[in-house]
Amino acid sequence: MIIKILTIIFIFFAASRAILRFKERMLSLQSLIFWMIIWTGILVIVFNPKISDDLAHALGINRGTDTAFFISIIALLYLVFRLYIKLDNIDNDITKLATEMSKKIHKDKLSK
């Protein structure tokens, strides 16, 4: 029972943070919808754990808890992949910017 209460508190906290970030324009509407679906899904499973058992049996897994961990790991790997892609894009942008600035500085020095 305590874990359910703590999970519910965390879900409401996380959802409120997502809404706040959206209002501050730090989170896109698509990201807000994604996170709200995740938090709502977890909330539904907390109140009705039989859903995860039914999903587990449909996927050929024995327990709903195992299914939740499996899906969580896949979701985390996907999010890490997205972060990696964004980080790689930022690295490329910084490299291009530094190259352009270096060329401009060098050109300005030659023109003097």
Domain ranges of the chain: 1-48
**Cβ burial 79-95 (10 Å sphere, 16+ → b, else e):** eeeeeeeeeeeeeeeee
pTM value is: 0.69
Per-residue pLDDT of the chain (112 residues; tens, 9 = 90+): 898 899 999 999 999 999 999 999 999 999 999 999 999 999 998 888 888 888 889 988 888 888 888 889 999 999 999 999 999 999 999 999 999 999 998 888 877 6
Here the contacts of 37-45 (C-beta below 8 Å, separation 24 or greater) are: 38/75, 39/11, 39/14, 39/15, 42/7, 42/11, 43/8, 43/11
Q: CA–CA separation, 74 vs 70, rounded Å?
A: 6
Q: CA–CA separation, 24 vs 46, rounded Å?
A: 30
